């Protein structure tokens, strides 16, 4: 999603050569085709896959003009399909999103996703990193979601630092 995209264009956030597959506003179903394509290409099939989603899949808003219906069974099925896509020998790692805003419906959706990921990853024996444990006020824009330049660097560095623990 946009957090990964903005981190990917921030110098020093990720090591050179990493294949970052992400886009603005992405949800699990948006990422699926590209992950499938990479897995089916022997030259690009990833040994480690990070699932750093949730802000868009789980979003629910008190403002009815904003898109988002919260964390649903359909979202869970789509994220499960995405997590099952990598080669069986690949490591799947999860990044828990965080919300630092004031919209209670949005917070509820993110918390539901965080709980689901924590239980799902534990059942699958997969590694989880938690953005909320690293994020500081200076990392987060006023909307409680998006990243400042310092946040982009910290977000990418968290993923980079946690990657050795994925396997």
Look at the alpha carbons of 80, 135, 110, 2 in this order and tell me if their dihedral is positive or negative. negative
What are 27-82's pLDDT values in tens digits?
Answer: 899 999 999 999 999 999 999 999 999 888 888 876 767 777 889 999 999 999 99
| pLDDT at residue 124, as a whole number | 97
pLDDT at 122 over 90: yes
Q: What is the pLDDT of residue 54?
A: 86
Which pLDDT tens digit goes with each residue over 74-106?
Answer: 999 999 999 999 999 999 999 999 999 999 989
Whole-structure pTM value? 0.93
CA distance 28 to 79: 5
């Amino acid at each position: 999603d946009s957090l990964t995209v903005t981190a990917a264009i921030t110098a020093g956030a990720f090591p050179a050569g990493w294949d970052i597959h992400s886009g603005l506003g992405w949800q699990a179903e948006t990422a699926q085709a590209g992950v499938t394509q990479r897995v089916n290409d022997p030259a690009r099939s990833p040994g480690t896959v990070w699932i750093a989603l949730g802000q868009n899949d789980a979003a629910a808003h008190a403002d009815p003009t904003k898109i988002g219906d919260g964390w649903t069974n359909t979202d869970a099925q789509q994220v499960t399909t995405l997590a099952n896509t990598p080669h069986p020998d690949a490591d799947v790692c999860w990044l828990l999103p965080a919300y630092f805003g004031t919209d209670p419906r949005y917070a509820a959706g993110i918390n539901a996703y965080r709980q689901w990921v924590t239980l799902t990853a534990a059942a699958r024996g997969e590694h989880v990193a938690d953005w909320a444990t690293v994020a500081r006020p200076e990392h987060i824009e006023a909307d409680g979601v998006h990243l400042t330049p310092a946040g982009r660097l910290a977000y990418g560095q968290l993923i980079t630092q946690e990657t050795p623990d994925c396997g």
